[in-house]
């Protein structure tokens, strides 16, 4: 069970990484798990809105206004933690 859960997390992280790379025209290799997406200029507010739409469509995660904090979306690790928390 642990291996299946870990594999699912890795797949989800890679899907999110690929999405971010695609919408920001950034090489996938430049987006590490801890890359600070806003600080490094990869993401801006429009990118965040696209990501929120993607998370809702792909994973059924609804983002409330209270969730719109940079801490939830600052890097891939934070995004994955946020998605897991919202999915319960």
Is the pLDDT at 8 greater than 80? The verdict is yes
pLDDT tens profile 34-48: 999 999 999 999 999
DSSP 53-72: HHHHHHH--PPPGGG--HHH
Domain range for 38 is 2-87
CATH number (domain holding residue 36): 1.10.1200.10
pLDDT tens profile 50-59: 999 999 999 9
User: Which of 28, 23, 27, 66 lies closest to 48 in space, CA to CA?
Assistant: 23
| Rg, the chain, Cα only | 12
Number of domains in the chain: 1
User: Which of 87, 7, 22 lies closest to 55 in space, CA to CA?
Assistant: 87
């Amino acid at each position: 069970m642990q291996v299946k859960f870990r594999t699912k997390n890795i797949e989800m992280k890679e899907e999110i990484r690929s999405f971010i790379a695609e919408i920001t025209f950034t090489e996938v290799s430049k987006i590490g798990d801890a890359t600070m997406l806003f600080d490094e200029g990869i993401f801006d507010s429009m990118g965040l809105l696209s990501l929120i739409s993607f998370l809702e469509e792909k994973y059924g995660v609804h983002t409330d206004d209270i969730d719109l904090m940079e801490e939830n979306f600052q890097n891939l690790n934070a995004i994955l933690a946020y998605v897991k928390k919202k999915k319960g």
